[in-house]
Structure formats: structure tokens, C-alpha cells
Amino acid sequence: MKKLLFAIIGSFLILTYPVFVFSDSDNIQCKEGFVLIFKINGNDACVKPTSVYPLLQRGWASHELTDTVEISIDVASWFIKSNPTFAFDGMEESLNIQINSVRESFPEQYVIEAEFSNRHGGYGDREDKFLTQAITPHSMNLVVSSGNVVSAIIDDEWDELNQKLWDAHDLPDVDTTVTQNSDVALGGDLLVQTSIVNYDGTSGFIAHPSESGNYPGVIMIHEWWGLNDNIKDMATELASHGFVVLAVDLFGGEVAYDANKAMELVGSFEKNIAIANMNLGTDFLTKNYNVEKIGSIGWCFGGGQSLNLALNNENMDATVIYYGQLTSEQDQLSSIDWPILGIFAELDQGISPDIVKEFESALNNLEIPNEIIIYPGVDHAFANPTGARFAPIESADAWDKTLNFLESNLK
């Protein structure tokens, strides 16, 4: 009976996990598409990369002897050479692949960079036509997990997995029929007045409590969709908690409702003009509303601009960044001497947890007060109810933390 049971289990394993078993591993060479593992029973085997982690997890293969790093590099190499955007000139030495980092999990996620040291190697359309005009043929950043490539971006421009142009803020189009941020945020106790204001050749949306008083100011920066009704509602919501909020317009009045238009607006955006705009906004609040302290907040594109304002205005008192572009250059960050709140997403591949941790480490090294939160299981733009990635529980928690942060640092 036992022999029959072992025979059945053995047959099942062979059918489930394609393997080639060897008794001596000294000269084993697996054919392309298979990798070498070391089994607990003493035999070695060539298996498909996707079979490695199930075998490890079930205790049939040795963690200590199975080289998952080398396996991940092999997987990345095969992926690069077999996909349609790749044109390989046969010079193996021109392709360099290395592990940049490992994300702790089971299975591990290996962040891999592949680049060409020879200008004759690169990416093309598989018909020997290099895409040098559309995509500069220099490098590919990959993430390998469980023997699979789960992300592959060429030069921060081309998504090789999905065969389309890539952007860190590649989000679904806006659905104007769904709930807006202000509908899911808890309203404050104060009535609010709003209007469009003009200052030094530009315009913005102002929201402030109707009741007279001394309130701190906040510069609010829109997402890549522009200064739309959603941001205006958020400015009104924040003002109801006792703030004078100026929602700046960095796109000159234009608003996007689809990703193509948003990408066009970001593409024509000029950083220096935006910084000047935000600085003029802080001056406007100081002169016209007698604010003594000023903070900033932005989401996505606006999160990056919130940090840019902090790097280019030494008179700020608080900075809030929702999954915005970061820098870890301590020479740049050293000018900041006020608290920073950072809200990020674990699944964000553009502003990844590794990038966030580098940013946090730089702030800590400079002794800049900070609270950095990476919400697990959510993706970029999780706080935007108009998109498919909206996470209501995490969004509500992030907003509560935002209010507490601004209250404690500006009032």
C-alpha cells in the first residue's frame, strides 16, 4: 500500500512540476528555460523557474543550496532576449544584468537592472530596426518574483510587459460620475467661502473660513489632471477645519479627463515656472490673509511639487506628500527644517517602497522630523476615488493623519 501511495505521489509531482532529476550535480547544465535546484532527497533537478518556489515552500527543495538570485538573473535574461522590443546583436558581453535590490517577502522580489555596454546592442522591433527615436536603447529595469517577470520598464518610457508607453502616473481616466474626495472626507465645523483669485499674472482657487480669525495657510497642488472640481472640493474641505487654502493652477487653466491629455499637460509643464507660481502663492496668502504659518499638500504629480516647494522656499512650516516624486539627495533636502508627512503605497512601482525608504533614511540622517507611511496592499493614487485603485479605508486613515499633522504643525 505504501509503495502504491509513493508511486501515486511521485507521478503527481512529475506531472505538476516538469523536472529532470540527476544524481551528480558536478557537470549539470540545464537547457535554456530550465534552472538547477537542489532537492532535499539528495538529487538535483532542472525545473522551470515557476516551479522553484512551490518546491521550496513545500519543503521538497533546499533553501540553502538553491540559488534564487542566479535563477532570477536567468529569468530576466531570457525575458529580455525573447520579447518583441529586444534586438540582440549576438554580442553576449554587451548585455550586463545585475541585482539592484531585494524586496523582503516570500517569494522575494528581485529588482534587476539590465543595460548595454556596447552601443550596438539595444532594443528594437525584432526587424532589426532600432527604436532610437522613440526609446533610447540603454537600460531595462525588471522585477522578478516566483520565477516570473512582474515588471519590465525600458528607460522609464516603455512597458515591455504590456507593450505600451509607460509613465509612473499611468492611471485610469477620470470618471466624473463617481464620488469625489470631499465626499469621503470628514467635514470640519466651519462654514467656508470660495472664489477664484488672481495674483501676479496667475490664478488659483481660494477657500477660507467665513468667520474672521487668524488661520494658517496651505498651498494645495493638484494631480496631473489639473485644477479640477475634485481639488477645489478638497480645498473647501480642508478650509472647513480652519485653514486658508490656495489651490494653485500649474497648467494655466487646462484640465484633463483622460490619461493622454494629462500626459500632454505634464509634458509641457515647466518646473521653474511652477516653483515661481507656488512661491507667489505663499506671498499672496501672507499679504492678503495675514497667515503666520504655511504648509503645502499635493497628490501624485502635486505630491512631487509639494516637495519641490519645500526645496525652494525656506519659509514653509509643514509639507505633505501623497505618493509624489522624491529625492534622496541630502544636499537638496538639507534646506528643510520643518516636519514632513509622506503618504505612500506598497504596490506603487513608480514611487516604490525602496525609493520611499531611501527618502526616509535621508530625512533621518539630516534629523528632519518626518512621518512616513507606506500603506500595505494598495497602489499609486489609492486616495483618489475617481480611479480604479481607490482604497476607501486607507484613504480615510491617510486624511485623518493629514489633518492631525497640519493641526499640530501649523496651529
Distance CA(168)–CA(184), nearest Å, equals 26
- What average pLDDT score do residues 73-77 get? 82
- Of 31, 66, 101, which residue is a domain's last? 66
pLDDT surpasses 50 at 36: yes
My answer on whether 240 and 159 are in the same domain is no
| Domain boundaries, position 108 | 69-165
| Domain stops at, among 50, 66, 82 | 66
Q: Are residues 399 and 286 in the same domain?
A: yes
Q: Is residue 95 domain-resident?
A: yes
- Express each pLDDT in 186-220 by its tens digit: 478 899 999 999 998 899 999 999 999 999 999 99
Note the pLDDT of residue 326. Answer: 95
- The rounded distance, in Å, linking the Cα atoms of 405 and 369 is 12
Q: Look-up: residue for cell 494653485?
A: 248
22/36 Cα distance (integer angstroms): 10
User: Is the pLDDT at 127 greater than 70, yes or no?
Assistant: no
Q: Is residue 307 part of a domain?
A: yes
All three cell numbers of 238, joined, read 480642508
Q: Do 221 and 333 belong together in one domain?
A: yes
pLDDT of residue 250: 96
Q: Which of residues 385 and 184 earns the better pLDDT score?
A: 385
- Cα atoms in the 13 Å half-sphere on the side-chain side of 323: 26
**How confident is the model over 353-410, as pLDDT tens digits?**
999 999 999 999 999 999 999 999 999 999 987 777 888 889 999 999 999 999 999 9
DSSP string, 197-241: EEETTEEEEEEEESS-S---EEEEE--TT-S-HHHHHHHHHHHTT
When divided into structural domains, the chain yields a total of 3
The answer to whether position 133 is within a domain reads: yes
Q: How far apart are CA 333 and CA 405, in angstroms?
A: 20
State whether 236 and 307 are in the same domain. yes
Nearest CA to 391 out of 375, 406, 369 is that of 375
pLDDT 10s digits, 239-274: 999 999 999 999 999 998 777 788 888 888 888 999
CB-based contacts of 312, cutoff 8 Å, min separation 6: 275, 278, 279
CATH of the domain at 347: 3.40.50.1820
Residue 286 has pLDDT above 90, yes or no: yes
Q: Determine the Cα–Cα distance for residues 371 and 204; give it in Å rounded to an integer.
A: 29
Q: What is the mean pLDDT of residues 222-233?
A: 91
Same domain, 111 and 29: no
Are 268 and 406 within one domain?
yes
